[in-house]
Chains A and B, each alone.
Chain A
Amino acid sequence: MSEFSHLVSSKVNLALLQEQALNDLIDILDRCEGTKVLMWDESLTNPVSLIAKPSVLKDHNVVKMFPIKAGDLPNVDVRNFIFITRPSLQLMNKIATNIHSDEKKNRVYRKNFYLYFLPKRSLLCENQLKTKGVYGNFQIIDDFKCQLFPLERDLLSMEYPDCFKELYIEGDLTSLHQSALALYNIQKLFGKIPKIVGKGKFAEKIKELSKNIVLNENIADEKGSIDQLIILDRSIDSLSAFATQLTYEGLIDEFYGINNTTVNFPAEKFSPSSEDTNFSKVTTSNEKKQVILNSKEELYAELRDKNFNAVGPVLSRLAKTITAAANERHGEKTIQELKKIVEHLPKLKASELSLANHTTIASLIKEQISQYDFLDELSSEQEFMMCNDLDKPNDYIESMICTQKPLEKVLRLICIQSAAASGLKQKVLDGYKKEIFHSYGIDSLLKLGKLEKSGLIKVQSGSRSYNILRKTLNLTVDDFQEVSPKDISYVHSFYAPLSIRIVEHSLRPLGWSGLNDILSCIPEPSFEDYQLAITTSSGRRDSLTSEISQSDIPKTILVFFVGGCTFAEISALRFLSQQDENNVEFIIMTTKVINKNSFLENVIS
């Protein structure tokens, strides 16, 4: 399966998850004989492309695919219609109108309908179908149990963007159950995870739920290939979610939006020669150039986690090697040497293309980050991170409001101020609210209300936990290095994301328990639990760290972010695993990869 080679890994092979999901999908297709049409919940088409390529669907008699829309069914002469959808009431209503319209049109020769819920049926949806009187029209109603989409050999996403909103604003706990099921599925494939630690009330709930499932389903009582699970609530570190990412991949995501490893750039910026399909899978339309970004492309694998300031040197170094290699062709050569060169040509050509593309992307980004607005926003954000002037209204924020800059930008900075100050002074918050109201009108009240409800903006009470942690965990680093970093803080130039600092500290000899004192200033539960007694040769229970330090095998830790994580955080974890002294490999699991814009928009929409 070369198409998914970027997922293959020797230790915990996430390609297994892709294969499993693909088999489930094929199963669904084969349960319905003959040619068929697939009707997709639109939000799923992209994620599903991460597990199945179009040719597979064709091989299994899928003639066409359409997004689910209300009204008439698309006019195709096919008898079988398979709906694949998230359990959403809105979509149920649309599907019902489809079926009603078919009933009216075809009195005799009716279509066959199949319905699959991803990842699980919901009673609510089934009842809705019954109310609409179409429940009986389906040949099969079943689950498409696919909770996890592998994006990379070390990265899993549930593609569940509403998780944070549901948990913190709507009080809907569905995502916790699905997370627990996903964790169970991982353990079914890769074996039991002996130790689970974490911070946050939802993290704790997920731990309880998944532990129960694992217990009931009888997974063999031996350690699998994952040594430890760390679960973190997004709410314990909202600052890092709102911070501007300064890594290559993070910046691409913030400006252009990476969705399921795919991103669209304005096509006119790319030279026509790069339309060659050697460079990943490239399709050009009039305005957009679609690029797939994953580790299959060597250069991208090298660039993605770097601070943007380190991208230029890599590009120019590669340019030099390519020119040198190209020059080698000239001059006299023996037949053998020539043969070798010819063999290398395709590879040379591919890296040339890849270089051209990334030079273009990098210059697009450079242009954007050199603009005054970006730099001003960044510097006021950084002032907050350093805990400067947290207790008064910020001049820059006020001037943004007075000049009606996009409300989202204003709200993001206020969220950062609130997170850094561990809550705003009442007077400051009221001042902002009033100004925002005057500038943006009455609908802004709703957005502010949501941010308050979710705790992303709050009034100060209790201790200043961020400032305490900033000192004890060294979150803002003085002698920072962007180009050849020695510390994870490079992902935001000088700020180390709290979430990842927590993971980093838990690698130390004292382990998770050593962190309890430090983390006690965050008023959320912290836990440490075992699914298997960890025994050393003497048969006594011991901490995992001392056990592993006896061996040279790196341990594997699964880090799960409930409510999303950023590419900068992912890069920081990769950086940690590259440090030899840590002797650790990470697998990162998130409900969705987020950035400062998408996170905020999702909460206030």
Chain B
Amino acid sequence: FLAQAEMSLDEALDSNVKLDSSLLEISSNYKKAHKELEAELTDDHRKLMKQQKAYEEKYSRLFYGLSLHDTVKELLVIGDIKLAEKVRTEHKMTDKHFWYLRIRILGSNFQWEELEKF
């Protein structure tokens, strides 16, 4: 099952369109191979991809297919901190990871006053 999961993931990645529809099957194969973490992450990614479609409409920017890190980063760059916070809690991004991102974006936007609040 592991081989099956990895094979279909590999195929799906080659043709990005198919990815979200095959993730369900991939995750169930991971589960059968007792790869719980991988199954969970695949499921998370499926949810994320759905949300990404909504963000694309909202901000007319490319979100689809980005990793969680890049999604949150984009939202921070846009300045929608509330939404960024929401995504990161939903997807259980660690505090450390989030603050790394937050600080870097603030730094690159020269928002020094914001930075000083830490």
Contact = CB atoms under 8 A, between A and B. Distances in A.
Interface of A: 398-399, 401-404, 430, 433-435, 437-443, 445-446, 449
Interface of chain B, helix or strand or loop or mixed? Answer: helix
Contacts of A449: 2, 6, 38
Given A402-B101, A438-B68, A449-B2, 15 more contacts: A402-B96, A434-B37, A435-B94, A435-B97, A438-B93, A439-B67, A439-B97, A441-B45, A441-B67, A441-B68, A442-B19, A442-B41, A442-B67, A445-B9, A445-B38
Given A402-B101, A430-B37, A433-B37, A442 B96 contact: no
Interface residues of B, number: 25
Contacts of B91: 438
Given A402-B100, A404-B69, A439-B69, A445 B94 contact: no
Contacts of B104: 403
B30 to A, nearest CB: 9
Contacts of A442: 9, 13, 19, 41-42, 45, 67
B85 interface: no
Contacts of B9: 442, 445-446
A289 to B, nearest CB: 37
Interface of chain A, helix or strand or loop or mixed? Answer: helix
A441 B41 contact: no
A437 B65 CA distance: 13
Contacts of A403: 100, 104
Nearest to B101: A402
Contacts, number: 61
Contacts of B6: 445-446, 449
A433 B37 CA distance: 8
A522 B38 CA distance: 29
27 contacts: A398-B96, A399-B100, A402-B69, A402-B96, A402-B97, A402-B100, A402-B101, A433-B37, A433-B38, A434-B41, A437-B41, A437-B45, A437-B67, A438-B97, A439-B97, A440-B69, A441-B66, A441-B67, A442-B19, A442-B42, A445-B9, A445-B38, A445-B41, A445-B42, A446-B6, A446-B9, A446-B10
A168 to B, nearest CB: 14
B100 A441 contact: no
A602 B2 CA distance: 21
